[in-house]
Amino acid sequence: MTSRTLTHYVGHYLNLVHLWGNKIFIDGTCGDDGVNDTPITKGFNYICPLYDSASVSSCTPGVVENVQNFMEYSYCSRMFTHGQVQRMKDCLQSSVANRNQLALFKVTSIKNTANDVALWVAPNPFKDKVHASGLQEGIYSAEVFNVVGQKIISIPSFKTSGKVMEFDLSSVTNKGVYFLLITDKKNRQNQIKLVKE
Ligand SMILES: [Zn+2]
């Protein structure tokens, strides 16, 4: 006998409603959760009504309702359907409530080749501008990421003549840790941790 309460609430958190629809409690009416592969149901809240196939086919005759679903109230929870899984995955791609920022930053997008490009940055911690030195003459791109991997500044292309470069980071308003990633034309990179004070 399992209820799997945490699994049920993770389902809610990832945009699943109860199988009987968007009502909190079971009220005896049949409802739909908007997921194609979960049958219409009125919902069940007793131990596990599987033994009584007539009672679990109350909304669509001949279709056994999915009492074993985590989004049911019965105590025999053991599954999400494929449709529910897809709905949860879609939720994690959505900008609603920043759900699409829950997934970990793709660290692989930054090659771990730290010092391919010579680079020093000062001041660090910084207030609004930093000066980068050490870059050879050439064309580079620069990006600034926050600690959860959101790109907050992107400079697609800039040219240096081997002198000190100034980066205006005044659009960075929150204190904390950031990463400046510099990439040259041969895709060599350097990543420097910056602290905004
Ligand atoms: Zn619930």
| Cis peptide upstream of residue 39 (ω within 30 degrees of 0) | no
**Taking Cα atoms as reference points, which of 196, 156, 158 lies closest to residue 177?**
196
Q: How far is the CA of 61 from the centre of ligand 1 (A)?
A: 25
Is 98's pLDDT higher than 80?
A: no
**Taking Cα atoms as reference points, which of 65, 75, 82, 62 lies closest to residue 30?**
65
pTM, two decimals, is 0.53
How far apart CA 90 and CA 94 sit, in angstroms, is 7
Cα–Cα–Cα angle for 85, 89, 92, rounded to 5 degrees:
145
Q: How far is the CA of 20 from the centre of ligand 1 (A)?
A: 11
Full DSSP string of 114-164: TTSS--EEESSSBSSEEEEE-PPSEEEEEEEEETT--EEEEEEEEEE-SS-
Q: Which residues pair with 193 in a beta bridge?
A: 179
Residue 40: count of CB within 10 angstroms of its CB? 16
Q: What is the pLDDT of residue 115?
A: 55
Sorting pLDDT into bands at 50, 70 and 90, what band is 192?
confident
Q: How far is the CA of 62 from the centre of ligand 1 (A)?
A: 26
82-104 average pLDDT score: 84
**Phi/psi at 41 (nearest 5 deg)?**
-150, 160
Is 110's pLDDT higher than 50?
A: no
Q: How far is the CA of 54 from the centre of ligand 1 (A)?
A: 25
Q: What is the pLDDT of residue 47?
A: 80
Q: How far is the CA of 161 from the centre of ligand 1 (A)?
A: 61
Q: How far is the CA of 17 from the centre of ligand 1 (A)?
A: 7
8-24 average pLDDT score: 93
Q: How far is the CA of 110 from the centre of ligand 1 (A)?
A: 40
User: What domains can be seen in the chain, in order of their start residue?
Assistant: 1-102 (3.40.390.10), 107-196 (2.60.40.1930)
Q: How far is the CA of 26 from the centre of ligand 1 (A)?
A: 10
116-153: per-residue pLDDT in tens? Answer: 778 888 999 999 999 988 888 899 999 999 888 889 99
51-86: per-residue pLDDT in tens? Answer: 666 678 889 988 989 999 999 998 888 999 999 999
